[in-house]
A and B are shown apart, each in its own frame.
Chain A
Amino acid sequence: MSGMSGVAAAGSPQDAPLLRVENLAVGFGRAAARAGAVVEGVSFEVRAGRTVALVGESGSGKSVTARTVVGLTGRGSWVAAEALEVSGASVLGVIRADGTRRGLPAPEWRRIRGAQVGLVLQDALVSLDPLRPIGREIGDALRLHTPLSAGARRERVLELLESVGMPSPAERIGQRSGELSGGLRQRALIASALAASPGLLIADEPTTALDTTVQAQILSLFEEVVARGTGLLFISHDLAVVSRLADEVLVMRSGRVVESGPVERVLGDPQHDYTKQLLRAVPAGVPRGVRLSVSAEPAAPAVDAIRTSPPAPPLPDRAPGAPPAHAVAASPAPSTASPPARAAGEPSAALVVRGVTKRFGDRVAVDEVSLELRTGTTLGLVGESGSGKTTLARIVLGLDAPDAGVVELGGLPWVPGRESLRRPRRAQLGAVYQDALSSFDPRLTVGSILTDALGGADGVAELLREVDLSPELARRRPRELSGGQRQRVSIARALARRPRVLVLDEPVSALDVSVQAQILDLLDRLQREHGIAYLFISHDLGVVRHMSDRIAVMGSGRIVEEGPAATVFEHPEHPLTRSLLAAAPTLSHS
Chain B
Amino acid sequence: MLVKAAWGVAGGVFVLWAAATLTFFGLRLIPGDPAQAVLGGPGSQASAEALAAVRAEYGLDQPVWVQYLRYLGRLGTGDLGSSYSLRQPVAEIIGAQIGGTLLLAALSLAVAWVIALGLAVWSTRGGRVAAAVGSALEIVAAAVPHFWLAMVLVLVFSTTLRWLPAVSTPGPAGLVLPVLTLALPLAGFLGQVMRESVLDALEAPFVLSARARGESEGGVRWRHVLRHGALPGIALSGWAFGWLISGAVVVETIFARPGLGRTLLNAVQLRDVPLVVGVVLVVALGYVVVTVLTDAVSRIADPRLRSAS
Partners in one complex: yes
Give me the interface of A with B, judged by CB distance under 8 Å.
67, 70, 72, 106, 110-115, 117-119, 121-123, 126-132, 137, 140-141, 144-145, 176, 178-179, 189, 192-193, 195-196
Q: Tell whether, in the assembled complex, residue A72 and residue B208 are in contact, meaning their CB atoms are under 8 Å apart.
A: yes
A335 → chain B, closest Cβ, in Å? 50
**Which of chain A's residues have a CB closer than 8 A to the CB of B206?**
126-130
A132 to B209, CA, bound (A): 13
Q: Tell whether, in the assembled complex, residue A131 and residue B302 are in contact, meaning their CB atoms are under 8 Å apart.
A: yes
Instruction: Write the chain A residue with the least CB distance to B206.
Output: A129
Instruction: Write the chain B residue with the least CB distance to A126.
Output: B205
At the interface, yes or no: B223 with Cβ under 8 Å from chain A?
yes
A443 → chain B, closest Cβ, in Å? 22
Instruction: Write the chain B residue with the least CB distance to A120.
Output: B209
* A114 in contact with B212 given A140-B223, A179-B303, A179-B307 (CB within 8 Å): yes
* A113 in contact with B307 given A131-B301, A131-B302 (CB within 8 Å): no
At the interface, yes or no: B211 with Cβ under 8 Å from chain A?
yes
Scoring B206, B209, B211, B304 by chain A CB atoms within 10 A of each residue's CB, the highest score goes to B209
Q: Tell whether, in the assembled complex, residue A189 and residue B214 are in contact, meaning their CB atoms are under 8 Å apart.
A: no
- Having A131-B302, A132-B223, A141-B214, one finds 13 other A-B pairs with CB under 8 Å, namely A112-B214, A113-B214, A118-B212, A122-B205, A123-B205, A128-B206, A140-B213, A144-B213, A144-B219, A176-B304, A178-B307, A189-B209, A193-B209
A478 → chain B, closest Cβ, in Å? 22
Q: Tell whether, in the assembled complex, residue A121 and residue B209 are in contact, meaning their CB atoms are under 8 Å apart.
A: yes
**Which of chain B's residues have a CB closer than 8 A to the CB of A128?**
206, 209
**Which of chain B's residues have a CB closer than 8 A to the CB of A196?**
213-214
Q: Tell whether, in the assembled complex, residue B204 and residue A141 are in contact, meaning their CB atoms are under 8 Å apart.
A: no
At the interface, yes or no: B228 with Cβ under 8 Å from chain A?
yes
* A106 in contact with B213 given A129-B206, A131-B302, A176-B303 (CB within 8 Å): no
A179 to B304, CA, bound (A): 8
* 23 cross-chain CB contacts under 8 A: A67-B208, A117-B212, A119-B209, A119-B212, A121-B205, A122-B205, A127-B205, A127-B208, A128-B209, A129-B223, A129-B224, A130-B206, A131-B224, A131-B227, A131-B301, A131-B303, A132-B224, A140-B215, A141-B214, A144-B213, A178-B307, A193-B212, A196-B214
**Which of chain A's residues have a CB closer than 8 A to the CB of B304?**
130-131, 176, 178
B303 → chain A, closest Cβ, in Å? 5
**What 9 A-B pairs are tightest by C-beta distance, nearest first?**
A119-B212, A114-B214, A114-B213, A113-B214, A127-B205, A129-B206, A110-B214, A144-B214, A141-B213
A282 → chain B, closest Cβ, in Å? 27
Number of B positions contacting A (CB below 8 A): 23
A128 to B304, CA, bound (A): 13
**Which of chain B's residues have a CB closer than 8 A to the CB of A137?**
209
At the interface, yes or no: B246 with Cβ under 8 Å from chain A?
no
Instruction: Write the chain A residue with the least CB distance to B213.
Output: A114
A400 to B140, CA, bound (A): 48
Instruction: Write the chain A residue with the least CB distance to B227.
Output: A131
A193 to B215, CA, bound (A): 12
For chain B residues 164-213, which have a beta carbon within 8 Å of chain A? 204-206, 208-213
* Interface flags, B267-301, vs A, CB<8A=1, else 0: 00000000000000000000000000000000001
**Which of chain A's residues have a CB closer than 8 A to the CB of B228?**
131
**Which of chain A's residues have a CB closer than 8 A to the CB of B209?**
119, 121, 127-129, 137, 189, 192-193
A469 → chain B, closest Cβ, in Å? 32
B65 → chain A, closest Cβ, in Å? 45
A193 to B302, CA, bound (A): 24
* Interface flags, B206-243, vs A, CB<8A=1, else 0: 10111111111101000110011000000000000000
Q: Tell whether, in the assembled complex, residue A145 and residue B303 are in contact, meaning their CB atoms are under 8 Å apart.
A: no
Give me the interface of B with A, judged by CB distance under 8 Å.
204-206, 208-217, 219, 223-224, 227-228, 301-304, 307
A72 to B307, CA, bound (A): 33
Instruction: Write the chain A residue with the least CB distance to B207.
Output: A129
A145 to B213, CA, bound (A): 9
**Which of chain B's residues have a CB closer than 8 A to the CB of A129?**
206, 209-210, 223-224
Instruction: Write the chain B residue with the least CB distance to A142.
Output: B213
**Which of chain B's residues have a CB closer than 8 A to the CB of A111?**
214
Q: Tell whether, in the assembled complex, residue B215 and residue A110 are in contact, meaning their CB atoms are under 8 Å apart.
A: yes
A106 to B219, CA, bound (A): 13
Instruction: Write the chain B residue with the least CB distance to A195.
Output: B213
**Which of chain B's residues have a CB closer than 8 A to the CB of A130?**
206, 303-304
**Which of chain B's residues have a CB closer than 8 A to the CB of A193?**
209, 212-213
A67 to B208, CA, bound (A): 9
Q: Tell whether, in the assembled complex, residue B212 and residue A72 are in contact, meaning their CB atoms are under 8 Å apart.
A: yes
* A140 in contact with B210 given A130-B304, A176-B303, A178-B307 (CB within 8 Å): yes
**Which of chain B's residues have a CB closer than 8 A to the CB of A189?**
209
**Which of chain B's residues have a CB closer than 8 A to the CB of A176?**
303-304
Scoring A67, A117, A118, A140 by chain B CB atoms within 10 A of each residue's CB, the highest score goes to A140
Q: Tell whether, in the assembled complex, residue B303 and residue A115 are in contact, meaning their CB atoms are under 8 Å apart.
A: no
B38 → chain A, closest Cβ, in Å? 56
**Which of chain A's residues have a CB closer than 8 A to the CB of B217?**
106
Q: Tell whether, in the assembled complex, residue B208 and residue A119 are in contact, meaning their CB atoms are under 8 Å apart.
A: yes
B51 → chain A, closest Cβ, in Å? 64
Instruction: Write the chain B residue with the least CB distance to A112.
Output: B214
Instruction: Write the chain B residue with the least CB distance to A67.
Output: B208
A30 → chain B, closest Cβ, in Å? 16
A145 to B215, CA, bound (A): 10
**Which of chain A's residues have a CB closer than 8 A to the CB of B210?**
129, 140
**Which of chain A's residues have a CB closer than 8 A to the CB of B204?**
126
A145 to B212, CA, bound (A): 12
**Which of chain B's residues have a CB closer than 8 A to the CB of A192?**
209, 213
A442 → chain B, closest Cβ, in Å? 19
A119 to B227, CA, bound (A): 23
A67 to B204, CA, bound (A): 15
**Which of chain B's residues have a CB closer than 8 A to the CB of A131?**
224, 227-228, 301-304
**Which of chain A's residues have a CB closer than 8 A to the CB of B302?**
131
**Which of chain B's residues have a CB closer than 8 A to the CB of A67?**
208
A22 to B304, CA, bound (A): 44
Q: Tell whether, in the assembled complex, residue A115 and residue B212 are in contact, meaning their CB atoms are under 8 Å apart.
A: no
Our pick among B208, B216, B307 for the contact of A121 (Cβ within 8 Å) is B208
A89 → chain B, closest Cβ, in Å? 16
A145 → chain B, closest Cβ, in Å? 6
A144 to B209, CA, bound (A): 14
A64 → chain B, closest Cβ, in Å? 13
A501 → chain B, closest Cβ, in Å? 35
Instruction: Write the chain B residue with the least CB distance to A176.
Output: B303
* A144 in contact with B303 given A119-B209, A127-B209 (CB within 8 Å): no
B52 → chain A, closest Cβ, in Å? 65
Scoring A110, A115, A193, A196 by chain B CB atoms within 10 A of each residue's CB, the highest score goes to A110
Q: Tell whether, in the assembled complex, residue A72 and residue B224 are in contact, meaning their CB atoms are under 8 Å apart.
A: no
**Which of chain A's residues have a CB closer than 8 A to the CB of B212?**
70, 72, 113-114, 117-119, 193
A114 to B208, CA, bound (A): 12
A316 to B227, CA, bound (A): 57
A193 to B205, CA, bound (A): 14
A360 to B43, CA, bound (A): 69
B297 → chain A, closest Cβ, in Å? 13
